[in-house]
Amino acid sequence: MTRPTATPQQRALVALVLVAVGLSVTAGASAVVPHADPATNLTLPPPLLAAQQASCRSRPIDNSAACTRALLAEVDYGLATEGLAPVSLPSNWASLTTAEQTFVIVDLERVARGLQPFLGLSFIWGADAQIGASGNGDPPIPPGNLWTATEWAGGGIVSPLQADFIWMYDDGVGGPNIDCPSTGGAGCWVHRDNILAEGSCTTCIVGAGYAVVNGAASVAAVFVEPSDTSTPLSFSWADNVVPYLGRGIAPLSVGSAPQGTGGYREVASDGGIFAFGARFEGSMGGQQLHAPIVGMAFDPWTGGYWEVASDGGVFAFNAPFFGSMGGQQLNAPIVGIAADVGTGGYWEVASDGGVFAFNARFYGSMGNQRLDAPIVGIAPDGITGGYLEVARDGGVFSFHAPFFGSMGGQRLDAPVVGVAFDPWTGGYWEVARDGGVFAFNAPFFGSMGGTALTRPVVGIAADPAVGGYWEVAGDGGVFNFNAPFDGSEGGAALTAPVVGIAL
Residue 349 maps to which CATH number? Answer: 2.130.10.10
> For residues 336 and 352, is the Cβ–Cβ distance under 8 A?
no
What distance in Å separates the CA atoms of residue 13 and residue 153, rounded to the nearest whole number?
5
Contact partners, residue 258, CB within 8 Å, separation at least 6: 465, 466, 467
Q: Does some domain include residue 381?
A: yes
Domain final residue pick, 244, 272, 295: 244
Statement to judge: residues 289 and 240 lie in one domain: no
**Cβ distance 379 to 387 under 8 Å?**
yes
- Report how many domains make up the chain: 2
Q: pLDDT-based confidence at 80, cuts 50/70/90?
A: confident
Q: Is the pLDDT of residue 437 over 50?
A: yes
Distance between CA atoms of residues 135 and 132, nearest Å: 5
Report helix, strand or coil for 94.
helix
Residue 29 has pLDDT above 60, yes or no: no
Q: Alpha-carbon torsion 86, 92, 95, 96, what sign?
A: negative
CB 334 within 8 A of CB 312: yes
| Statement to judge: residues 361 and 331 lie in one domain | yes
**223, 321: one domain:** no
Residue 255 domain flag: no
Strand order in the sheet with 293-298: 293-298, 305-309, 314-317
- Our separate counts of H helices and E strands in the chain read 8, 24
Distance between CA atoms of 328 and 398, rounded to whole angstroms? Answer: 26
Whether 250 is in a domain gets the answer no
Query: What percentage of the chain has pLDDT greater than the value 90?
Result: 67
- Looking at the domain assignment, is residue 387 inside a domain? yes
Asked whether the beta carbons of 53 and 74 are under 8 A apart, the reply is no
**What helix, strand, coil percent values describe the chain, rounded to 5?**
15, 25, 55
Together in a domain, 122 and 215: yes
The answer to whether position 489 is within a domain reads yes
| Full domain range(s) for residue 284 | 264-502
Return the higher-pLDDT residue of 351 and 113: 351
* pLDDT score of 279 more than 60: yes
Tell whether 332 and 362 lie within a shared domain. yes
Based on the fold, state whether residues 322 and 444 are members of the same structural domain.
yes
Identify whether residues 83 and 54 lie together within a single domain. yes
What integer is the mean pLDDT of 51-65? 83
In degrees and rounded to multiples of 5, residue 232 shows phi and psi of -70, 150
> How does pLDDT run across 341-400, given as a tens digit for each residue?
777 899 999 999 999 999 998 999 999 999 999 999 999 987 778 999 999 999 999 999
In a domain, 39, yes or no: no
288 and 333 co-located in one domain: yes
Domain limit, last residue, from 201, 216, 244: 244
In this structure, is residue 37 part of a structural domain?
Answer: no
Same domain, yes or no, for 238 and 270? no
| 429, 463: one domain | yes
Q: What is the pTM of this model?
A: 0.60
More confident residue, 292 or 55: 292
pLDDT tens, 233-277?
A: 999 999 999 988 864 444 444 333 333 336 899 999 999 999 999
Confidence of residue 156 (pLDDT cuts 50, 70, 90): confident
Question: Other C-beta atoms within 10 Å of 214: how many?
Answer: 9
Q: Exposed, middle or buried, 412 (CB in 10 Å: 0-12/13-18/19+)?
A: middle
Which has the minimum average pLDDT: 30-34, 276-280, 496-500?
A: 30-34
Looking at the fold, whether 228 and 290 belong to one and the same domain comes out as no
CA–CA dist 281, 422 (Å, integer): 25
Note whether residue 291 is domain-resident: yes
Task: Tell whether 205 and 270 lie within a shared domain.
Answer: no
198 — alpha (psi -120 to 50), left (phi > 0) or beta?
left
* Coil vs helix vs strand at 221: strand
